[in-house]
Amino acid sequence: MSEWNRKMIETSHGCFEVFEKGEGEPVCITHHYSEFNESGDYFAETFIENNRVILVNLKDVGNSDKAECAHELSMVDAVLDLEGIRKAYGYPSWTFAGHSTGGMIGVLYGIHFSSSLKSLIIVGSSAREYSSSSSKCIYNEGHPKFKRMQELMELLKLQSLEGSERKRLSKERTQLSLFKPENYDLYFSKKITKKMSTNRLNFFSREQQIFDLTRQLSAVTTKTIILCGRHDVQCPVNFSTEMSILIPEASLHIFEQSNHYPFLEEEVEFKQVVKAVLS
């Protein structure tokens, strides 16, 4: 598997580390607190067969500029930064695709800059705070796996964690969000590695408590496709259904044999759906 091409992009909002791969119409991808590198990203790999993918490290992540003020770690600032990167590339518009917290950023992007988007792809995400309102969410105290997920999240924040132990804990955390956890090694067989930004994760944990874009979803005017696993424990499927109803140009596709990673759990079907949207 070939590595991603690393670039530093100067914008009016600062300098950002991005990774590129593929040819064709541009698709921008990011995540709120993931730190990407030349090994790429499983979600981003889904798009490289037919598109030029631009994978973005947001502020305080990797070699991108550090945040000078706390608000620079917000989702609003993430959208403004992505717009700055689009302009630096000279693209009149592009597609944005976001999984999980990347999808939350994508919803905000669609509300404020639909004219900059050819299409919007939201996967396993939500337009509002999801943990307190649904016991089907693994971040809700009523979920049977809540306590273990919290323990794993805190352990993975430790900078002192050894590589092998970090890998073991990360695997266990991901397995909690798979429809068939025993297939973990099959799904995650590529040499793709990434880290978490503790600063961004901590900021997100506070920000998401007041996150609610539902009343603004009618402002999303670009073509939008919402994808979700039927058994998603991170952002339960009802939040995807809600977005599909409230966004005017939205379509919804539910993957019946998937949890939070339909692009791996039902890879062939996922790629077919995405290709139909982007072609």
Confidence grade of residue 198 (pLDDT, cut at 50, 70, 90): confident
User: Which token pair is 91?
Assistant: 């693209």
Mean pLDDT within 208-232: 97
What is the C-alpha separation between 170 and 190, in angstroms, rounded? 15
Contact 28, 119 (CB under 8 A): no
- Residue 86: partners with Cβ closer than 8 Å, 6 or more residues away: 28, 93, 94, 116
Q: Where are the domains of the chain?
A: 5-134+191-278
Q: What is the pLDDT of residue 150?
A: 94
Q: What is the pLDDT of residue 49?
A: 93
What is the average pLDDT score of the chain? 95
Q: What is the pLDDT of residue 81?
A: 98
Q: Is the pLDDT of residue 40 over 70?
A: yes
Q: What is the pLDDT of residue 76?
A: 97
Q: What is the pLDDT of residue 1?
A: 62
- Look up the pTM and report it: 0.94
Give the CA count within 13 Å in the CB-facing half-sphere of 85: 29
What is the C-alpha separation between 235 and 232, in angstroms, rounded? 6
For the chain, give the percent of residues with pLDDT over 70: 100
Q: Is the pLDDT of residue 24 over 70?
A: yes
Residue ranges with strand state E in the chain: 5-11, 14-21, 25-29, 34-35, 51-56, 94-99, 117-123, 195-196, 223-229, 250-255
The CATH code that applies to domain 5-134+191-278 is 3.40.50.1820
Q: What is the pLDDT of residue 160?
A: 86
Per-residue pLDDT of 100-149, as tens digits, reads 999 999 999 999 999 999 999 999 999 999 988 889 999 999 999 999 99
What is the C-alpha separation between 73 and 252, in angstroms, rounded? 30
Mean pLDDT within 176-199: 94
Mean pLDDT within 69-79: 96
- Residue 229: partners with Cβ closer than 8 Å, 6 or more residues away: 124, 179, 237, 254, 255, 257, 258, 259, 260, 261, 262, 265
C-alpha to C-alpha distances, 51 to 22, 48, 158, 225, nearest whole angstrom: 6, 5, 36, 17
From the list 180, 32, 22, 165, the residue with the least C-alpha distance to 104 is 32
User: Which token pair is 191?
Assistant: 């040499």
* Bridge partner list, 253: 227
Q: What is the dihedral of CA 174, 257, 242, 137, to 10 degrees?
A: -40
Biggest CA–CA distance in the chain, Å, is: 48
- Residue 41: partners with Cβ closer than 8 Å, 6 or more residues away: 29, 31, 34, 55, 192, 194
User: Which token pair is 109?
Assistant: 């992007």
